[in-house]
Amino acid sequence: MIEVKILREDFPILQREINGYPLVYLDNAATTQKPNSVIDAMNDYYSNSNANVHRAVHTLAGEATEGYESCRRALKSRFNANKAIITSGTTEAINLVAHAWGRANLSDGDAIILTEMEHHSDIVPWQMLAQEMNIELRYVPVQKDLTLDMELFEAAIKGAKLVCVVHISNVLGVCNPVEKIVEIAKQNGARVLLDAAQSAPHQEINFEQIGADFMAFSAHKMCGPTGIGALLVNDESFDEMQPFMGGGDMIETVSIHGSTYQKNEQKFEAGTPRIAEAIGWTEAIKWLNSVDIKIEHKRILESARWLSGELRRMGMTVYGRHDDNDAAVVSFLHPTMNSEDLAHLLDARGFAVRTGHHCAQPLLDRLEISGTVRVSLYFYNTHDEVVSFVNYLEEILERFA
Amino acid sequence: MIEVKILREDFPILQREINGYPLVYLDNAATTQKPNSVIDAMNDYYSNSNANVHRAVHTLAGEATEGYESCRRALKSRFNANKAIITSGTTEAINLVAHAWGRANLSDGDAIILTEMEHHSDIVPWQMLAQEMNIELRYVPVQKDLTLDMELFEAAIKGAKLVCVVHISNVLGVCNPVEKIVEIAKQNGARVLLDAAQSAPHQEINFEQIGADFMAFSAHKMCGPTGIGALLVNDESFDEMQPFMGGGDMIETVSIHGSTYQKNEQKFEAGTPRIAEAIGWTEAIKWLNSVDIKIEHKRILESARWLSGELRRMGMTVYGRHDDNDAAVVSFLHPTMNSEDLAHLLDARGFAVRTGHHCAQPLLDRLEISGTVRVSLYFYNTHDEVVSFVNYLEEILERFA
Amino acid sequence: MNYSAELLELIEEFQDIDDKMERLEMVFDLADEVNLLPVEQWCDTTRVQGCQSEAHVKVEVLDSEVNFYAGADSKLVQGLMGILTMAIHGAKADLVLSLTPEFATEMGILNSLSPSRSNGFRNMFDKVMTEVKQQVD
Amino acid sequence: MNYSAELLELIEEFQDIDDKMERLEMVFDLADEVNLLPVEQWCDTTRVQGCQSEAHVKVEVLDSEVNFYAGADSKLVQGLMGILTMAIHGAKADLVLSLTPEFATEMGILNSLSPSRSNGFRNMFDKVMTEVKQQVD
Ligand SMILES: Cc1ncc(COP(=O)(O)O)c(C=O)c1O
Ligand SMILES: Cc1ncc(COP(=O)(O)O)c(C=O)c1O
């Protein structure tokens, strides 16, 4: 086990001070920080190897192509997948499924199952598609215990063609029973899209073993750069996908009479790709590969559990349960104090938390609240940081509540 | 006028050696190199300010939001535009027009005008849309003198709803008469989309003055990072655009019964945006703002003219005319020697050129060739580099042709 | 600028504080200065756009003197309203119209706030100014 | 590895060259070693996939001896074919089947080429091996 102190040294931003106080970054579900290896790799690319990829002869283009494709290999290997399409993030990956698979394989009157726990990025694309194609959307409700109502899911699955489910909720940290969901979906002939934006950073995921058809996630939430993400696809669903965006790199031939497309992932990667980003992401995956993710997860989950207890003791309402596979995310509300005010006061001493609807309004509607304060931990957070957060929160409440 | 020697110092990659020879980077139409200020800004962002943008209270999120939005301001100000939507590049920007404007405003039997000079990224999206919506595509032919046949354009415009035209050809360097094209289009009630991927790096463009409705371009071709680009839109066309991709950040409210969307550019920027990239691009625009682009353009265009003459003297066929507004791009073919072989030999001494179809197969079909060798200059290229290129090429031809 | 003595004093007081938390504390305290606009009167015409929280303002110009009523579900926002109250409530309309949001920048409170909050302040200020102008014209 | 004396010599010759251009020059020269497959015989079954240029190969195993014919529109690619010719033409099929593309890596020619070209070489090698195997079985 690497000491967290040593692990922190990889992240230059953790030296930052805010208003004269050390940064305590507790907004990791929004985006994670980047280790030096990621920053340096992009730096090195731009300083030494920058070129456009594919179909070129010169040395730099070869290096850039190799760098870009190494990202795809790293993704396939870490997540055990046959096809990894590189996108600009989770959101584009889900939109890609809606356009490339949905529009080609769904039709008037079909049903898609979503859950009330979905992020907007896994709701709005389907609402838009539903409107266009007259498709029924069925939302699996979230129960009082913050889990999905699996009975209603089983009732809703009949006749559904696609199930879109978030692996780990970005508001609650709750990890959904995706193996069970895939099993039920498959029995009923439905495809499954996993929104793994929050799980990819926190778990070891075996895509093939889970048996989902699609899995979407973002680099920036797993120590990688902004502007890049991926969609993993199994072979069966990949073959059913039609091109989404058209342009350079995704074609085989173009004439004024029509075009033919590439056969592999590039078919869905139109235009100059995210080269520097892919090179950075490769390093982020290497960094994650080097971490004992189970031990680190357990450690920060313990901190989250402790934090939940302290917050409850202070009279807060905590939205989360923190089972073993849940993420170290703690959403809470003070009975009277405005959440944004609280976040401003926290920021005054360097504590970065997020407030608001976290892009999950349907979930908040179900919980009958309009937002939460969210603390989300990652592997470079220490228990000491969480303790100092609690101490300062108490000070705030004494002075302001 | 800044000495090119001094200007080169901004670009660390120009110190690179390839096989023991100094890199002579002549593949700028594919992608340009990045000045230190761009690399450093992204570095600094990841090392000191990285956070997710919008709707957040903490200091880092404020800095990230400010950084991201400063890119939009820089774009609007440099190109004199009211609306700048940030995309992942030219290709996505054009696909955005096809989906967000095209699908909402075109209908069965409408016509779109393209030219034979278009890049695949300005052809394939329209072929896909045409197939889906039964739209007619009319291609303006390229004449022997490598210009568009304006008579046939005027004949084709009747009844067309949209004209998509490349501002500067990435193969020929030819600058099309876009003011004239816009004038004719407007007289006939057609909208105009400019593919400015090659012109944005080389000219001062006043979007509002040109009067086009849409303008697409990529950061990576104008000293900025990969993975980011923009679509400029005028107000009239902006108001006609429907959302394209759905997800976080582009919504106002989401419920299980439906969603409402943002009113401004964010409506078309679903998901976590390209934050680091935007911050890098801002610096690239500042760098370009600091260059006397007219003088530098004239200088490299002179080199391109000289190169064309030398190549012709050596028996090459040159595809280009190099008028004052054309780009410093020189496409050529040796009568017998294979282009890729030539490029390999050039690379052996550090000269980076591109070969192949340059994602413009319809243009090459018209020229009855399958590819060219392309030398494309940018402001950091010196005339000495071009001279040494010619000298080495002569050596190659002596030994191999 | 034509700042009232009271406003000038407030600006100085703010400038004397280094610590961001203390500055926020002072803003909180100023929430009490607000002439409360009762929640029942909150509506679309009183709403300040672009605020993350609910923020409502109402202006009345009587005998060319500005009366300012406000309320918000955030105490911090209400504190900003308190500052604006001190700057304009009871002041002559022409004096009020000569103000710019500069004074808040001078206090250093705008950079103590997230961009969305400080934009919120600017929006509130603009809304108030527009309404004063309308009632004067 | 069971390299023939001729191939071993060639590998050494290549290893002795530092300069990339000279190495390419040698590859060019080896284009002459190819037993040309006439352009008229180029077709879909002879085409090497994934090559940027047209590259065609044909294999015949006669009396368990491999005969290799090839042609390309790139002289560099044809040079690679020449190297393969020296490695396999006239050799016993079982010896040929024991080869891996390693020898080209050892020569240093693969890293003298763009990834697409060196992939092209690998594709050519794989295609030849598959066809030898089919004819042996
Ligand atoms: C004229 C033209 N249009 C469009 C593109 C596509 O740009 P990107 O690949 O950055 O999306 C390019 C560059 O490849 C180009 O030269
Ligand atoms: C569960 C979940 N899904 C989707 C997203 C969207 O990811 P991105 O904004 O990177 O596209 C997020 C993050 O915001 C998320 O937490």
Same domain? B18 vs B167? no
* Structural domain includes residue A31: no
Same domain? A114 vs A212? yes
Contact A226 B137 (CB under 8 A): no
Q: Is C54 exposed, middle or buried (0-12, 13-18, 19+ CB in 10 A)?
A: middle
Tell me how far apart the alpha carbons of residues A8 and D44 are, in angstroms, rounded to a whole number: 57
Confidence grade of residue C4 (pLDDT, cut at 50, 70, 90):
confident
Check whether C2 has a pLDDT greater than 70. Answer: no
Q: Which has the higher per-residue pLDDT, C130 or C119?
A: C130
Confidence grade of residue C58 (pLDDT, cut at 50, 70, 90):
very high
Its pTM stands at 0.95
Q: Which residue has the tokens 């976080």?
A: B248
Q: What is the mean pLDDT of residues B352-374?
A: 96
Is B209:B194 a contact under the CB 8 Å cutoff? no
> What residues make up the domain containing C45?
5-136
Q: What is the mean pLDDT of residues B350-357?
A: 96
Same domain? B375 vs B257? no
* Domain finish residue from A265, A289, A313: A289
What secondary structure does DSSP assign to B335-391, as a single string?
Answer: SSS-HHHHHHHHHHTTEE-EEE-TT-HHHHHHHT-S-EEEEE--TT--HHHHHHHHH
> What residues make up the domain containing A106?
39-289
pLDDT in the model for residue D27: 92
Q: What is the mean pLDDT of residues B174-191?
A: 98
Confidence grade of residue A2 (pLDDT, cut at 50, 70, 90):
low
Out of A301-315, C7-21, C69-83, pick the least confident.
C7-21
Q: b vs e for C22-50, b when ≥16 Cβ sit within 10 Å of the residue's Cβ?
A: ebbbbbbebbebbeebeeeebeeebebee
Contacts across the A-B interface (CB distance below 8 Å): 312
Number of domains comprising chain D = 1
Confidence grade of residue D1 (pLDDT, cut at 50, 70, 90):
low
Ligand with the closest atom to the CA of B358:
1
Tell me how far apart the alpha carbons of residues B348 and D19 are, in angstroms, rounded to a whole number: 8
Confidence grade of residue A381 (pLDDT, cut at 50, 70, 90):
very high
Same domain? B64 vs B209? yes
Check whether A1 has a pLDDT greater than 60. Answer: no
Residues 6+ apart with CB under 8 A from B144: none
Number of domains comprising chain B = 2
Tell me how far apart the alpha carbons of residues A331 and A342 are, in angstroms, rounded to a whole number: 13
Q: Is A256 on the interface with B (CB under 8 A)?
A: yes
* Structural domain includes residue B229: yes
Check whether C98 has a pLDDT greater than 70. Answer: yes
Label the pairing between strands B160-166 and B191-195: parallel
Closest CA to A386 of A351, A339, A338: A351
Q: How far is the CA of A130 from the centre of ligand 1 (A)?
A: 33
Confidence grade of residue B179 (pLDDT, cut at 50, 70, 90):
very high
Tell me how far apart the alpha carbons of residues C87 and C107 are, in angstroms, rounded to a whole number: 12
Measuring CA to CA, how many Å separate B287 from each of B49, B280, B282, B290?
22, 11, 9, 5
Same domain? A275 vs A307? no
pLDDT in the model for residue B72: 98
Contact C115 B62 (CB under 8 A): yes
Check whether B55 has a pLDDT greater than 90. Answer: no
Tell me how far apart the alpha carbons of residues A32 and A381 are, in angstroms, rounded to a whole number: 11
D-contacting chains (≥3 CB pairs under 8 Å): A, B
Same domain? B21 vs B100? no
Q: What percent of the residues of chain D are helix, what percent strand, and what percent coil, each to the nearest 5?
A: 55, 15, 30
pLDDT in the model for residue A285: 98
Q: Which chain B residue has its CA at the smallest distance from C117's CA? A: B57
Same domain? B13 vs B128? no
* Structural domain includes residue A95: yes
Is A152:A201 a contact under the CB 8 Å cutoff? no
Q: How far is the CA of B93 from the centre of ligand 2 (A)?
A: 22
Predicted confidence (pLDDT) per residue in D58-106, tens digit: 999 999 999 999 999 999 999 999 999 999 999 999 999 999 888 888 8
- Backbone phi, psi, residue A116, to 5°: -70, -10
**For A266, which DSSP code?**
G
Contacts 24+ apart (CB under 8 A), A314-323: A314/A393, A314/A394, A314/A397, A319/A146, A319/A171, A319/A172, A319/A367, A319/A369, A319/A372, A320/A146, A320/A172, A320/A173, A320/A174, A321/A145, A321/A146, A321/A147, A321/A172, A321/A174, A322/A173, A323/A174, A323/A175
Contact B341 D74 (CB under 8 A): yes
- Whether chain D lies against chain C with 3 or more Cβ pairs closer than 8 A is no
Contact B338 D21 (CB under 8 A): no
Same domain? A102 vs A203? yes
Chain B 309-338, residues with CB within 8 Å of chain D CB atoms: 337-338
Ligand with the closest atom to the CA of A121:
2
Check whether B109 has a pLDDT greater than 70. Answer: yes
Distance (Å) from the C-alpha of residue A345 to the closest C-alpha of chain C?
Answer: 6
Contact B400 D21 (CB under 8 A): no
Q: Whose CA is nearest to atom 16 of ligand 2?
A: A170
pLDDT above 70 as % of chain A: 100
pLDDT in the model for residue C1: 52
Q: How far is the CA of A192 from the centre of ligand 1 (A)?
A: 35
Same domain? A8 vs A71? no
Check whether A312 has a pLDDT greater than 90. Answer: yes
Q: Which chain D residue has its CA at the smallest distance from A252's CA? A: D50
Q: How far is the CA of B294 from the centre of ligand 1 (A)?
A: 22
Predicted confidence (pLDDT) per residue in B71-85, tens digit: 999 999 999 999 999
* Domain finish residue from A272, A289, A306: A289
Q: What is the mean pLDDT of residues A241-249?
A: 94
The torsion region of residue B227 among left (phi > 0), alpha (psi -120 to 50) and beta comes to left
Tell me how far apart the alpha carbons of residues C23 and B128 are, in angstroms, rounded to a whole number: 58
CATH for B145: 3.40.640.10
Mean pLDDT estimate for chain B:
96
Q: What is the mean pLDDT of residues A352-370?
A: 96
Predicted confidence (pLDDT) per residue in A3-35, tens digit: 899 999 999 999 999 999 999 999 999 999 999
Looking from the CA of residue B88, the nearest atom of ligand 1 is: 11
Check whether D110 has a pLDDT greater than 90. Answer: no
pLDDT in the model for residue A228: 98
Predicted confidence (pLDDT) per residue in D18-57, tens digit: 888 898 999 999 999 999 999 999 999 999 987 677 899 9
Best residue for ligand 2 mutational test, from A359, A361, A363, A372 (most atoms within 8 Å of Cβ): A359
pLDDT in the model for residue D119: 80
pLDDT above 90 as % of chain A: 97
Q: Which residue has the tokens 């919980």?
A: A367
Contact D75 B400 (CB under 8 A): yes
Same domain? B16 vs B62? no
* Domain finish residue from A243, A264, A289: A289
Tell me how far apart the alpha carbons of residues A35 and D118 are, in angstroms, rounded to a whole number: 34
C-contacting chains (≥3 CB pairs under 8 Å): A, B
Q: How far is the CA of A371 from the centre of ligand 2 (A)?
A: 17
B379: amino acid identity, one letter: F
Confidence grade of residue A370 (pLDDT, cut at 50, 70, 90):
very high
**For A245, which DSSP code?**
S
Q: Which has the higher per-residue pLDDT, A219 or C19?
A: A219
Same domain? B252 vs B337? no
- The answer to whether A359 is a known catalytic residue is yes
Confidence grade of residue C10 (pLDDT, cut at 50, 70, 90):
confident
What secondary structure does DSSP assign to A24-75, as a single string?
Answer: EE-BTTT-----HHHHHHHHHIIIII----SS--SHHHHHHHHHHHHHHHHH
Ligand with the closest atom to the CA of A164:
2
Predicted confidence (pLDDT) per residue in B31-48, tens digit: 999 999 999 999 999 999
Measuring CA to CA, how many Å separate B202 from each of A4, A391, B194, B227?
49, 57, 15, 20
pLDDT in the model for residue D2: 67
CATH for B354: 3.90.1150.10
* Structural domain includes residue A172: yes
pLDDT in the model for residue D103: 84
Q: What is the mean pLDDT of residues B206-218?
A: 98
CATH for D67: 3.90.1010.10
Predicted confidence (pLDDT) per residue in B232-246, tens digit: 999 999 999 999 999
pLDDT above 70 as % of chain C: 97
Residues recorded for chain A: 401
pLDDT in the model for residue A144: 96
Same domain? A285 vs A296? no
Token pair recorded at residue C83: 């500052």
Distance (Å) from the C-alpha of residue B376 to the closest C-alpha of chain D?
Answer: 20
Distance (Å) from the C-alpha of residue C79 to the closest C-alpha of chain A?
Answer: 11
